């Protein structure tokens, strides 16, 4: 979708600082367009622009449907678009998100690498739409109770700018359903130990499973192993079930024919050229991994592309063409000065905590098989690394640190303090086959679960 600049009445740009004007001129180098109308070729949200619905939110951003005043000449330019704005802790705070820099990053560093598989994005001026952010915050307050727990009480930051995105939701909602997933690390981390039996993403999910056990989250084996994406080799293994990218879709199927049809459609998303493209780019951008990475400008790009989102529209019946509109979105720049230490310590925790390597979990005196399902594990074979043990122990207040390595006769014991009752419950349920599995989509529909 191409949004061309159009006529608008609000041409007063005196609020833009000379530095920002320079930055906008700089941006236009990456996005040549007709600048005849206002000198910058940037759309303006007119006064009276209001949010109409929260479409979704993440940790750092919120996405809204919006409307411009009826009959405004710019109305047609905003068809099938949504606004993406940055969040803050309290209403009234100014967003620290630098919209101009973020858009330049997208145009210069991200979009050219992804061969056209990006959701269309524009920078828009929100300065004249005075009620936009206050109304977004009123809306967030009104629906606070329906928001995901961890997002409640966060708001949209004051801003003169916003990002305008192509709305990726199906227009004919009866015919298509939207899925979204984060492909994450499509290759093993260059820092993973040589005897790893898990990829970086599976190790990371396994860490959360052990250290922050939670009865309502899916089992690691039900979440995506990114190494299984883009590797259609004709074989069909448990670990490569395409339902791992969209578990909820399995539950939505009303017949076994529809279930197998969904499986086929999801398989085409999992093996879409966009995934192969992303994997190639991830490989080019970071060959050393966070532990050995330099503070190079390529590292934030690598990390951005390990955290972007893939959208796809899945037709509900075989009569329709699909999957449609497979594209990537969410390309926030990560500040390496602030983040490198965090990236390094996360990688060290995964290595030193045994999450890449452990073949067994010891909990309450009994050994369990970790409920993970990784391509690396599959290739290593059943029972690998049985001497590498995660020892889960009860949280003891006052004891510092969560990793206390011990050396048994052979192999290594990695001790972690955690909520042992919850972890035990999950391990037992899994052992008894009561957790269900995404590789058997019928289990997701079992009403007794
Ligand atoms: N172009 C779009 N069209 C429709 N909905 C969208 C679009 N972009 C994002 N969304 C919805 O808004 C949600 C939040 O957006 P986004 O991923 O940009 O936020 P975020 O804070 O960066 O998320 P995260 O914390 O996962 O990185 C998405 O999960 C998606 O459901
Ligand atoms: Mg994000
Ligand atoms: Zn994996």
User: Which residues of the chain are modeled with pLDDT < 70?
Assistant: 1-11, 32-40, 173, 232-238, 397-409, 436-449
Distance from the CA of 129 to the center of ligand 2, in angstroms? 25
Q: Which ligand is nearest to the CA of 60?
A: 1
Q: Which of 124, 157, 330 should be mutated for ligand 1, with most atoms under 8 A from CB?
A: 330
Q: Strands 43-44 and 81-88, how do they pair?
A: unpaired
Buried/exposed code over 282-308 (b: 16+ C-beta within 10 A; e: otherwise): beebbeebbeebeeeeebbbbbbbbeb
Q: What is the pLDDT of residue 448?
A: 29
Contacts of 74 (CB under 8 A, 6+ apart): 6, 7, 8, 43, 44, 46, 68
Q: Which atom number of ligand 1 is nearest to the Cα of residue 57?
A: 14
Cβ atoms within 10 Å of 327's Cβ, excluding its own: 20
Structure token pair of residue 137: 């915050």
Question: Count H helices, E strands: the chain?
Answer: 13, 14
Residue tagged 């590789």 (tokens): 439
Indicate which residue's Cα is closest to atom 21 of ligand 1.
58
Distance from the CA of 95 to the center of ligand 3, in angstroms? 36
Measure the CA–CA gap between 246 and 215, rounded to whole angstroms: 20
**Residue 161: which H helix or E strand, with range?**
strand 161-166
Q: Is 78 exposed, middle or buried (0-12, 13-18, 19+ CB in 10 A)?
A: buried
Structure token pair of residue 312: 């796809």
**Residue 326: which H helix or E strand, with range?**
strand 324-329
Q: What is the pLDDT of residue 36?
A: 41
Q: Which of 87, 95, 309 should be mutated for ligand 1, with most atoms under 8 A from CB?
A: 309
Contacts of 394 (CB under 8 A, 6+ apart): 417, 418, 420
- Residue ranges around ligand 1 (CB below 6 Å): 55-61, 63, 82, 84, 119, 165-169, 180, 309, 329-330, 332
- The residues pairing with 161 across neighbouring beta strands, listed in sequence order, are 125
Q: What is the pLDDT of residue 257?
A: 87
Q: What is the pLDDT of residue 260?
A: 87
Q: What is the pLDDT of residue 358?
A: 97
Distance from the CA of 178 to the center of ligand 2, in angstroms? 18
Q: What is the pLDDT of residue 432?
A: 87
Structure token pair of residue 217: 């989250």
Structure token pair of residue 438: 């995404």
Q: pTM (2 decimals)? A: 0.91
Strand order in the sheet with 324-329: 176-181, 309-315, 324-329
Indicate which residue's Cα is closest to atom 28 of ligand 1.
56
Indicate which residue's Cα is closest to atom 24 of ligand 1.
58
């Amino acid at each position: 979708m191409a949004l061309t600049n159009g006529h608008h009445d609000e041409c007063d740009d005196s609020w833009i600082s000379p530095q920002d004007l320079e930055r906008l001129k700089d941006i236009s180098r990456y996005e040549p367009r007709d600048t005849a109308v206002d000198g910058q070729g940037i759309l303006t949200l007119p006064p009276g622009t209001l949010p109409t619905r929260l479409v979704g939110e993440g940790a750092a951003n919120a996405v809204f449907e919006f409307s411009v005043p009826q009959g405004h000449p710019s109305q047609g330019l905003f068809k099938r678009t949504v606004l993406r704005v940055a969040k803050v802790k309290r209403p009234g705070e100014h967003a620290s998100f630098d919209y101009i820099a973020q858009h330049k990053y997208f145009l210069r560093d991200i979009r050219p690498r992804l061969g056209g598989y990006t959701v269309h994005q524009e920078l828009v001026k929100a300065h004249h739409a005075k009620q936009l952010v206050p109304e977004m915050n009123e809306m967030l307050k009104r629906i606070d109770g329906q928001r995901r727990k961890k997002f409640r009480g966060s708001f949209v930051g004051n801003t003169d700018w916003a990002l305008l995105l192509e709305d990726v939701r199906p227009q004919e909602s009866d015919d298509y359903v939207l899925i979204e997933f984060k492909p994450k690390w499509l290759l093993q981390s260059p820092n993973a130990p040589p005897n790893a039996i898990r990829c970086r993403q599976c190790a990371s999910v396994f860490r959360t499973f052990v250290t922050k056990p939670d009865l309502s989250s899916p089992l690691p084996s039900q979440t995506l192993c990114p190494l299984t994406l883009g590797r259609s080799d004709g074989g069909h293994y448990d670990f490569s079930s395409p339902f791992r990218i969209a578990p909820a879709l399995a539950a939505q199927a009303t017949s076994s024919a529809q279930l197998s049809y969904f499986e086929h459609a999801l398989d085409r998303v999992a093996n879409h050229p966009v995934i192969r493209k992303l994997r190639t780019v991830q490989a080019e951008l970071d060959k050393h991994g966070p532990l050995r990475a330099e503070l190079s400008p390529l590292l934030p790009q690598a990390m951005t592309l390990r955290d972007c989102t893939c959208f796809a529209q899945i037709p509900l019946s075989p009569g329709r063409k699909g999957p449609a509109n497979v594209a990537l979105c969410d390309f926030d720049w990560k500040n390496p000065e602030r983040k490198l230490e965090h990236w390094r310590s996360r990688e060290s925790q995964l290595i030193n905590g045994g999450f890449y390597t452990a073949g067994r979990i010891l909990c309450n005196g009994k050994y369990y098989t970790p409920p993970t399902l990784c391509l690396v594990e599959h290739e290593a074979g059943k029972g690998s690394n049985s001497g590498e043990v995660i020892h889960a122990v009860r949280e003891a207040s006052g004891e510092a640190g969560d990793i206390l390595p011990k050396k048994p006769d052979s192999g290594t014991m990695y001790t972690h303090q955690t909520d042992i009752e919850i972890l035990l419950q999950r391990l037992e349920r899994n052992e008894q086959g009561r957790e269900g599995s995404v590789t058997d989509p019928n289990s997701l529909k079992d009403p007794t679960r």
